Amino acid sequence: MPTLSPRALPASPASRHKTVVIADDSVVVRGLFARWLGEAGNFHVVAVAGDGETAVAHATRFKPDVMVLDLDMPGVDGAAALPQILKESPNTGILLAAMLNERNTRLALECMTRGAMDVVSKPDSRSGMTLSLDFRSEFLLKLGNIVQAPVRPGSLPPEIDTDLPHAGPTNLRPLVSVMPRYLVIGASTGGPRAVAKVLFDIGEGLNDLTTVVVQHMPPLFTASFAEQVAAHIGVPAREPFDGERLMRGTVYIAPGGRHLGIDRRLGHIVARIGDEPPVNFCRPAVDVLFSEAARHLGPAALGLVLTGMGSDGTTGADALRKAGAAVIAQDEPSSTIWGMPGSVVRARRASAVIALDEIGASIRCLVRGVQTA
């Protein structure tokens, strides 16, 4: 297997290739990632680094489209280097790579709230990494998601209604027939930061809501994500168990690798945890949560689709709208990737399109009965 030393590599003349810096202290891993990217055909590795300090220097020099950043490196590690990398090259997408023990899981979540876009879990052995086709596929898929150019404002097809409420504090009251008592949220790439911000901005309004979140995450992450959310917003947040009665003033996070839906049992609204096949290649899937919320909650639900790759949530948003519920989509400029919310907008299932900075305030004003402009 060819190896790469932590130095700059020749630039590619092919402008269509996305530029990549690989930062990992293992020569074997750097070589493996570089080989996979070369075989993919649409990436060009412009530099490699064996420590965080060198990664920052390469970010400053090359301004790459994406950086693969190992959390565990000698000296300045990936977590410590991240803020400086984003300061020197703010348009660089960061894919974290690490063996996900409890420490690294928490660290990765913190990094994703500080600007990293996604994480890939490295197998715990060199042979596992080399031989795992699933890991290779996940690595290339997530890297491709990060570098995919989002739809730009103004590029929507002409038949799409552009008169939706857009940006700024939005008065949601005219969009709902009854006051929502349940907030159902779907997010993927870039979601941990977006979810945490929205919930923090809703603030005391969360006491008036039962909040259920599907965030596309591996199993090891979701419990830590729930703990982080609880610490950040000051209200209870946890993974629910199957049949648990859903209570107001609590945030429920879908367990990784399992669907989270909503059911009505003995007159109570409860969590439904299922192991059905993935929907939209996702488990948990936003469509499952939204569709079951539409069936059991109707207009008492408020749907929110945040940043993420793909179209998960569009079918569920359609079900919510048909059931009389409103659906908010995050706007494109504030999204890490405008895939999921953009799909909802194109399908004409968004009741409002709002910037991330204003979503929480708009929901808080709605549930607290405060009118906005």
| Length of the chain, in residues | 373
Write the DSSP assignment of 257-287 as a string of letters.
TSEEEEEEETTEEEEEEE-PPPBTTBSS-HH
Note the pLDDT of residue 87.
Answer: 94
* Integer Rg of the chain from CA: 21
* Mean pLDDT, the chain cut into blocks of 10 residues (373 residues total): 43 66 94 93 94 96 96 91 94 90 86 87 67 81 76 37 51 92 95 94 95 90 90 94 97 96 95 95 95 98 95 97 97 92 96 96 88 56
Note the pLDDT of residue 153.
Answer: 37
Strand arrangement, sheet containing 66-70: 43-49, 18-23, 66-70, 93-98, 118-121
Which residues have C-beta within 8 Å of that of residue 257, sequence separation ≥ 6?
A: 218, 219, 283, 284
What pTM, to 2 d.p., does this model score? 0.80
Alpha helices by DSSP H, listed for the chain, are 27-40, 52-62, 78-88, 102-113, 126-131, 133-147, 191-202, 219-233, 286-297, 314-322, 340-346, 356-368
Instruction: Look up 216 and say whether it is catalytic.
Output: yes
Residues 20 and 34: their CA atoms lie apart, in Å, by 9
For the chain, domains (ranges, CATH) are: 18-147 (3.40.50.2300), 173-368 (3.40.50.180)
Note the pLDDT of residue 155.
Answer: 36
Tokens of 203: 């603030």
Note the pLDDT of residue 167.
Answer: 46
Note the pLDDT of residue 125.
Answer: 59
Nearest to 287 by CA among 256, 250, 265, 312: 312
Residues 198 and 194: their CA atoms lie apart, in Å, by 6
Note the pLDDT of residue 126.
Answer: 59
- The strand pairing partners of 228, in sequence order, are none
256 touches 270 (CB < 8 A): no
Note the pLDDT of residue 372.
Answer: 57
Catalytic residue among 17, 44, 58, 216: 216
Note the pLDDT of residue 23.
Answer: 97
Note the pLDDT of residue 16.
Answer: 67
Catalytic residue among 188, 334, 343, 351: 188
Instruction: Look up 232 and say whether it is catalytic.
Output: no
Instruction: Look up 291 and say whether it is catalytic.
Output: no
DSSP 331: -
- What confidence tens digit (pLDDT) does each residue in 239-297 have? 999 999 999 999 999 999 999 999 999 999 999 999 999 998 899 999 999 999 999 99
Catalytic residue among 51, 70, 312, 318: 312
Residues 175 and 159: their CA atoms lie apart, in Å, by 22
* Nearest 10 degrees: Cα torsion 276, 280, 285, 287: -110
Note the pLDDT of residue 161.
Answer: 42
